[in-house]
Amino acid sequence: MIGYVVRRLVGAVIVLLVLSAVVYGLFYAGPSNPALLACGKGCTPDHLAEVKSAMGLDKSLGDQYLSFLHGIFFGHDYSSGPSVRSCPAPCLGYSFETDQSVTSILTSALPVSASLALGALVLSLLLGVGSGLVTVLSGRRWLDRGLNAVVLLGYSTPVFLVALVLLIVFCSDLKWLPFPNYVPLTQNPGQWAQNLLLPWIALALIGSASYARMTRAQMLETLSEDHVRTARAYGLSERRVITGHVLRGALTPLVTMAAIDLAAIMTSAVLTESMFGLPGIGHALVDAVHGGDLPVIVGVTVAAGSLYILANALADILYAAIDPRVELA
């Protein structure tokens, strides 16, 4: 088992390195002019030169990438003439436009995305797995068809549409909730939850569709397996059969899916953050794109990618730990 964990993590790190290299190369070697973009509006040739040397763009691409990596572990100082902007480890780049390190942008954005992701995931699981289980265990056809219809709706609705509808209905028309405005958990838990309620619901309404369908499919498959027949053949009551022998096998794959989903929401709930004005990772990226802030784009993409890759690796490890049948090849 330890061997598998190590192998999987090492594999993840390798993929991470390649990812960062690809991202870095793509953006900095790409057709756009990084210095010009970073310099922003009202850029004078002198300022441009300053930015260029501060960003180290006068060096070769390979050197740039290596110093980028170096910065992640040891920090980097961007000096151009008298002014020095320090960027302590882990340094993922420096945003000249907003005059802060990418890491500090991420540090303030991460809790927001994490709050959003956790709540949405919990709600999705409750709603999705719950409805899937209820449908299968009740055995009623109309429930099954109803669930299928709802799932289809969930698949075909873009999240920003749902968000829009929720905002219109609850904030604008019914005025049950104020327009969301993020409040950190540490500041005021009650308001934190209240402001995140609508984004959670928006994401959960759509996300639960996948879980509901998967739960249903897994349950049906497990129920038809031989060992369930054995349990019945040995006189176990249906309830015991389900709780003791079906649920575990059916729901285990969902655990890993949830782990990956957590990372996915954190890194990709851009639209939701945008609709609800949540200053999370996705939002930071969109701002950077609109502003042409390349270091932020690169840094955030690499950070988010890393998160996702690690989550995948952890999910695999988790699955191997839970399911005794998995061959740790």
Partner 1 sequence: MTQTVLTEEAAADPGPSSPPLPRAALWRRLRHDKAAATGLVIIAVMVLVAVFAPVLTALEGQDPTTQHSELVDSAVGTPLGAHGGISGSHWLGVEPQTGRDLFARLVYGARISLGIAFGATAIQVLIGVSIGIAAGLGGRLVDSALGRLTDLSLAFPYVLFAIGLMAIVPDSIPRPLVLAVVIALVAWGGTARLARGQTLSLKTRDYVAAAKLSGAPPLRVARREILPGLVTPVLTYAALLVPSNMIAEAGLSFLGVGIRPPTPSWGQMLSQGTTWFRPDVLYVLVPGGALFVTLLAFTLLADGVRRILDPKNTEVAP
Partner 2 sequence: MTAAGADAGEHAVIAGAAGAAGAPLPEQSAGRGPAGSGPVLDVRGLSIDFPVRGGQVVHAVKDLSFSVPAGAALGIVGQSGSGKSATALALLGLHRNTSARVSGQVWLNGVDLVAASDAEVRGLRASQIAMVFQDPLTALDPFHTIGDQIAEVYRVHTKASRAQARARAIEVLDHVRIPEAARRARSHPHEFSGGMRQRALIAMALACRPKVLVADEPTTALDVTVQAQILDLLDEVRAETGMALVLISHDLGVVAGTADEVLVMNEGEAVERGPAERVLLEPQDPYTQGLLAAMPRLDAPLPGRAGQAGAEPEVLVRVEDLAKHFRRGGSLLGRAEPFRAVDGVSLELRAGETLGLVGESGSGKTTLARMLVRLLTPTSGTVVFAGNPISTLSERELRPLRRDLQMVFQDPLSSLNPRRSVGETIADPLRIAGTSSDAEIRATVRELMAKVGLDPETYDRFPHEFSGGMRQRVGIARALAPRPKLLICDEPVASLDVSTQAVILELLKEVQREYGLTVVFVAHDLAVVRQVADRVAVMRFGQIVELADAATLFDAPQHEYTRTLLDAVPVVDPVAAREKREKRRLALAAG
Contact positions toward partner 1, by CB under 8 A?
14-15, 18-19, 22-23, 26-27, 30-32, 120, 124, 148, 152-153, 155-161, 164, 168, 172, 203, 206-207, 210, 213-214, 217, 253, 257, 260-261, 264-265, 267-268, 270-271, 274-275, 281-282, 285-286, 289-290, 292, 294, 297-298, 300-301, 304-305, 307-309, 312
Q: Does 123 bind partner 2 (CB under 8 A)?
A: no
Q: How far is the CB of 230 from partner 2 (least distance, A)?
A: 5
The one of partner 2, partner 1, none whose footprint includes residue 297, by CB under 5 to 8 A per kind, is partner 1
Per-residue binding letters, 238-277, with partner 2 (x by CB under 8 A)? --x---xx--xx----------------------------
Q: How far is the CB of 236 from partner 2 (least distance, A)?
A: 6
Q: How far is the CB of 141 from partner 1 (least distance, A)?
A: 10
Per-residue binding letters, 192-231, with partner 2 (x by CB under 8 A)? ---------------------------------xxx-xxx
The rounded distance, in Å, linking the Cα atoms of 329 and 313 is 15
Q: How far is the CB of 285 from partner 1 (least distance, A)?
A: 6
Q: Does 141 bind partner 2 (CB under 8 A)?
A: no
The rounded distance, in Å, linking the Cα atoms of 319 and 329 is 14
The one of partner 1, partner 2, none whose footprint includes residue 329, by CB under 5 to 8 A per kind, is partner 2
Give 160-169 contacts, CB < 8 A, sequence gap 24+: 160/271, 160/272, 160/274, 160/275, 162/202, 162/205, 162/206, 163/198, 163/199, 163/202, 163/271, 163/272, 163/275, 163/276, 164/275, 166/198, 166/201, 166/202, 167/198, 167/275, 167/276
Q: Please report the sign of the dihedral spanned by the C-alpha atoms of residue 213, residue 214, residue 219, residue 220.
A: positive
Q: How far is the CB of 4 from partner 2 (least distance, A)?
A: 9
Beta carbons of 217 and 210 less than 8 angstroms apart? no
Q: Does 81 bind partner 2 (CB under 8 A)?
A: no
The one of partner 2, partner 1, none whose footprint includes residue 270, by CB under 5 to 8 A per kind, is partner 1
Residue closer to partner 1, measured from CB, 55 or 309? 309
Cα 318 versus chain centre, distance: 18
Is the N-terminal amide bond of 82 cis, ω within 30° of 0? Answer: no
Q: Does 327 bind partner 2 (CB under 8 A)?
A: yes
Helix boundaries (H) for 41-93: 45-55, 61-74
Q: How far is the CB of 295 from partner 1 (least distance, A)?
A: 12
The rounded distance, in Å, linking the Cα atoms of 271 and 74 is 34
The one of partner 2, partner 1, none whose footprint includes residue 10, by CB under 5 to 8 A per kind, is partner 2
The rounded distance, in Å, linking the Cα atoms of 62 and 288 is 24
Q: Does 47 bind partner 2 (CB under 8 A)?
A: no
Place of tokens 């390349």: 294
* DSSP SS3 for 307: helix
Name 266's Cβ contacts closer than 8 Å, sequence gap at least 6.
110, 113, 114, 116, 117, 280, 281, 304, 307
Q: Which DSSP category does 327 fall into?
A: -
Q: How far is the CB of 136 from partner 2 (least distance, A)?
A: 14
Q: Does 7 bind partner 2 (CB under 8 A)?
A: yes
Per-residue binding letters, 283-322, with partner 2 (x by CB under 8 A)? ----------------------------------------
